[in-house]
């Protein structure tokens, strides 16, 4: 898809949604490097009534989504996230700061489980919940064993490899993700339904065991997320935009 064709799709999307459209499409972790380019684009747009962010991301740093939401909301009165395919983990947290999430039949949100760098393998990113599940596994191994002394002997060498400072940092990241989720939901998406904030936060931060669990539009609605289902021409444009950007990444590979 040529650039001119993508621009036409974006312009039509803006007409249908009566908004200004931004696109963030990436296969690398979401982090603060997005902020300066985003600010430049927002300054070009200027303050406007409504901004839609077309978002494709598998997640990233715990603090970045909050910063992105706060920055975009400096330039608009209404904010929506459009998910063509995947907005997982930290990207799902970003969606919680919107007034609505636009989803199609293949769109996925996911559990809020931010990624952190592995302490030894620096290029490896680890879901913070993985550390908690590791500790939980060893605890159950020892408590439920008929020979806890043997289980302790087995677990001890592996537990010794876990730096307590690192565990504390991971625990802090988990708590931060809950705090950000509650803040975004209570300020924006669920500001008129405060009783749902803790329910949605708990479900997204602790209710799923798989980092990649696919939360489709129906399940997202059942959780309490404000979902707008995209149909007809609206969905066709959103999906064609996704295919256009995906093609760019494949060609660059």
Q: How many CA atoms lie within 13 A of 58 on its CB side?
A: 11
Tell me the per-residue pLDDT of 41-52, one tens digit each, with 9 for 90 and over: 999 999 999 999
| Residue 175: pLDDT band with limits 50, 70, 90 | confident
pLDDT single digits (tens) 103-158: 999 999 999 976 666 666 566 666 666 666 666 666 676 667 667 665 566 666 66
- What is d(CA 252, CA 242) in angstroms, rounded to the nearest whole number? 16
């Amino acid at each position: 898809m040529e650039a001119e064709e993508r621009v036409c799709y974006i312009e039509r999307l803006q007409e249908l949604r009566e908004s200004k459209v931004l696109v963030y499409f990436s296969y690398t972790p979401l982090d603060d490097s997005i902020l300066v380019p985003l600010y430049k684009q927002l300054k070009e747009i200027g303050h406007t009534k409504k901004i839609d962010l077309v978002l494709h991301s598998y997640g990233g740093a715990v603090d970045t989504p909050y910063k992105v939401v706060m920055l975009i909301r400096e330039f608009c009165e209404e904010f929506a996230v459009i998910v063509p395919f995947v907005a997982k983990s930290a990207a799902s947290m970003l969606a919680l700061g919107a007034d609505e999430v636009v989803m199609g039949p293949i769109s996925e949100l996911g559990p809020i489980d931010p990624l952190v760098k592995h302490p030894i393998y620096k290029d490896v990113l680890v879901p913070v919940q993985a550390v908690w599940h590791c500790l939980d596994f060893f605890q159950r191994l020892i408590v439920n064993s008929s020979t806890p002394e043997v289980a302790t002997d087995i677990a001890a060498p592996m537990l010794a490899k876990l730096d307590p400072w690192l565990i504390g940092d991971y625990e802090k990241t988990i708590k931060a993700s809950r705090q950000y989720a509650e803040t975004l939901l209570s300020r924006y998406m669920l500001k008129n339904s405060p009783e749902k904030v803790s329910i949605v936060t708990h479900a997204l931060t602790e209710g799923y065991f798989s980092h990649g669990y696919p939360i489709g539009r129906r399940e997202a609605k059942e959780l309490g997320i404000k979902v707008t289902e995209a149909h007809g021409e609206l969905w066709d444009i959103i999906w064609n935009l996704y295919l256009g950007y995906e093609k760019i990444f494949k060609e660059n590979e």
